[in-house]
Amino acid sequence: MTEQRSGFPRRDAEGRILTLGDLLGVSLAGLVVGVLAVVLFDWAFALIGSGDFGRSNGWLAIILPAWLFWDDFRAWEFGAARVVSGLAATTVGVVAGLVVAGLAAGLPSLLSGALGAATFTLGYAVVWFHGVHWLARRTG
């Protein structure tokens, strides 16, 4: 049995996030913080007359979730499970996010980008977590 680190998200001794719920919870919380930060900056720039509100790129909200994903990616030892899962999760997340953002293209870029970023976050987290655990069990 491996030792577990204290804190949230819960991690094992190697620093890997233990549950999909923890990964989703922290990444979605980071996404919300990112969206709020982009809205705040967009609002501030609109107030000083530097553009219309809603014109900022909502994809910027992905910064904190991407940082968490990178941290979990680095916690897994180098091998097929990590590389294949990372590539698959990135591909699914980016494609799904772009499709959703494209479908919402009539909305302000802040909103369509935020929807794309949310879709990326959900898609990446689910594919990464299940993929890396499944492949790690099979490859030893």
Contacts of residue 56, Cβ cutoff 8 Å, sequence gap at least 6: 38, 41, 42, 45, 109, 110, 113
Report field, pTM of the whole predicted structure over 0.85 = yes
Between the CA of residue 36 and those of 6, 41, 43, 104, 125, what are the distances in Å? 28, 9, 10, 19, 21
Q: What is the pLDDT of residues 86-139, one digit of tens each?
A: 999 999 999 999 999 999 999 999 999 999 999 999 999 999 999 999 999 998
63-72 as b/e, with b when 16 or more CB fall inside 10 Å?
ebbbebbeeb
Determine which of 26-30, 46-50, 88-92, 114-118 has the lowest per-residue pLDDT on average.
Answer: 46-50
